Amino acid sequence: MHDGPDGLRVDSTTINTTISTELALARRCSLCGGPMGYWVAFLGGPGAAELLRYTDPPGHAECMTAALSLCPHIALARHRRARADRPGGGMIPPGSHGEKPEKYVLGITRSYRTEFVPSHGFSVYLPAPFKSVHEYEYGPDGRLVTTPRAR
């Protein structure tokens, strides 16, 4: 949710840093807002999974799995973010390269830390080592194959 001229509006191209940080600190899902139980999930590219550093906040494994097929940016290989100069276009967080990963990695862990980076005005999320990892790649039709490959 983001502030707009007519009140709050949904903008899935960018992260509301204030709300996402509050949700993460309260251990609530970044997608549905519900309390997270024992396990939490992180969704991102292979680089984020390798470094255990995310600019996207955590959520329920079920919600993150749903995002694989419901979020057009993730589900379709050729789908791109709107340019920042277009209405509804999101801003890429400082330090992000903005390139879309060739595949997505869903990592599930028990705990994480949230660190606010004041110089850039956003939070970074640092999960504990993953207990399970699933990889999702694009098929020949350009759609994300939602049957995971465990690694």
91 vs 54, higher pLDDT: 54
Q: What is the mean pLDDT of the chain?
A: 84
Identify any residues that bridge with 113 across adjacent strands, giving them in sequence order. 126
pTM (whole model) above 0.85: no
pLDDT at 88: 47
Provide the sign of the torsion angle of the four alpha carbons 45, 49, 50, 53, taken in this order: positive
Other C-beta atoms lying within 10 Å of the C-beta of residue 150? 7
Sheet hosting strand 132-137, strand order edge to edge: 40-44, 103-109, 132-137, 149-150
Closest CA to 32 of 43, 20, 48, 44: 20
Cα distances (Å, whole numbers) of residue 125 to 21, 59, 113, 117: 9, 11, 6, 11
